[in-house]
Structure formats: C-alpha cells, structure tokens
Structure 1
C-alpha cells in the first residue's frame, strides 16, 4: 500500500486542475490529517515487517538485482516516503542536469 498527501503545482504555480471539469481538486484539512494519521498508523503497525522489507530492498539495489518482486513486497508494509528514503540511502538522490 502506498499512501501519501501531495500538492501538485503547475509550472506557473497554480494548483492542479482537472481540465475536463475545470475545477480545482484539493483535500480538506480533515482529509489531510486523516491521511497523515493513516500513514503513522501504518508505520506503527508494520514496523518490524517494514524494517526487513526496506533492508531487502536496499540489498537488492546494491547487488544490482531485479527489484520488482522486492519492491512489491515492501509496498505492503512501507509508505512511499520510507521507500524513497531507503533508496536514497543506498543510491543517492537523482539530480537532473540543468
């Protein structure tokens, strides 16, 4: 399960707009707080499984192995932030050449 709270801005700074209906989509404060609580509950409930899954994911990356199966297993127990942080630890952060 991948859970997150995101705000996407267009290059000109406006919030994401659905072009078909031309209305802005934005979560309420209640929805944001509920989503954050869900992520925290997920982390607490699956801490041991997440630790193992993240370690397995990092090891697969370092060994240059196919990471698909390991990543799918990690997604059962980890948030997107946890997955990203684990990959940054072993591989660094991508920086686009400007």
Structure 2
C-alpha cells in the first residue's frame, strides 16, 4: 500500500479494474487489429465525446468559465447573422473557378499526382500541398486525397 493511504489504493484498484476490463473487450474482438476493423476504438471515443458534451451542456460536468463561475460582467454570446451570397456572387465565383481550371489545366494533373504520391510515400504532404494550391482547386485537391486515403465517415 501507499503508506496506508486507503483512498489512493482504492482509486488505483478502480483504474486497474477498468483498464483490465477494456483489455478484455479488445481481446474479445480479436485484439487491437480486430477491434480496429470493427471500429471499436473509434466508437468508444465517439461515445465518450458525446457523453461529456451532454454533461457539459446540461451543467452536470462543471467547467469554470464555460458553464460555471461565468464572468458576471461578461457579455452573452452574440447571434451572428448568416451571410448569404447573391446569385450574381455565386455565378461570379463559379466563373473565376472555371477560369482557374482553364489557366492551370496543364499543370494541375501533375501537381495532383505529386500530392497523391507524397501521401502514398508517407512524405511531406504539406510541402507539396503548398505548391499544389497554386495550380489546383480545393475540390481537385480534396478528390485527389480521397482517392488515395479514403473519406472519413462518422459511424453512428
């Protein structure tokens, strides 16, 4: 024991019990790889995240400055009005995008290939990305990255 400290021993036992229970749950799913294939770890993280978000919002999980001990002189969070584009603004942006694609048609495929290769080689993706954005649109880059890395889908 920790010099007779009952509470420290009790807390240590509780943590150990919870850890062993989690190890058993992972082991019963075929180990770490088996649990990953079924999305076990991701699901547990999402459950815990949702649990603490609910507790934070209903006030049962106090966070100083967020939901308890708020500044009495502080201002309430302001509603920000959503800005909407006019049809002319939308069409103007689509025209600029089409012009960008036309101007960079010769180089965009090359840069998208370099970006994909950097991902495959586990290289410095950011360095390639900094150059690729000069020749490729966000949509092109996103599609290229989805093609090599897949797309995250939140499982519920």
TM-score normalised per structure 2:
0.48
Q: Greater CA radius of gyration, 1 or 2?
A: 2
Partner residue in 2 for 1:80:
138
1:29 and 2:87 matched: yes
- RMSD over equivalenced CA pairs, Å: 1.5
Once the two structures are TM-superposed, the CA of residue 20 in structure 1 deviates from its matched residue by 4.6
The list of structure 1 runs, each at least 4 consecutive aligned residues, that deviate by more than 3 angstroms after superposition, is 19-22
More helix by share: 2
Once the two structures are TM-superposed, the CA of residue 48 in structure 1 deviates from its matched residue by 1.3
* Per-residue CA distance 1:18-54 (angstroms, 9 max, x = gap): x757433000000000001111110010011111110
More strand by share: 1
Partner residue in 2 for 1:57:
115
- Distance in 2 between residues matched to 1:42 and 1:21, nearest whole Å: 36
* Matched residues, number: 80
> Structure 1: which 5+ runs fail to align?
1-18
- Distance in 2 between residues matched to 1:87 and 1:93, nearest whole Å: 9
Once the two structures are TM-superposed, the CA of residue 95 in structure 1 deviates from its matched residue by 1.4
> Structure 2: which 5+ runs fail to align?
1-76
TM-score normalised per structure 1:
0.75
Determine which of 47, 62, 66 is the counterpart of 2:124. Answer: 66
Larger relative CO (CA 8 A, sep 6+): 1 or 2?
1
Once the two structures are TM-superposed, the CA of residue 81 in structure 1 deviates from its matched residue by 0.3
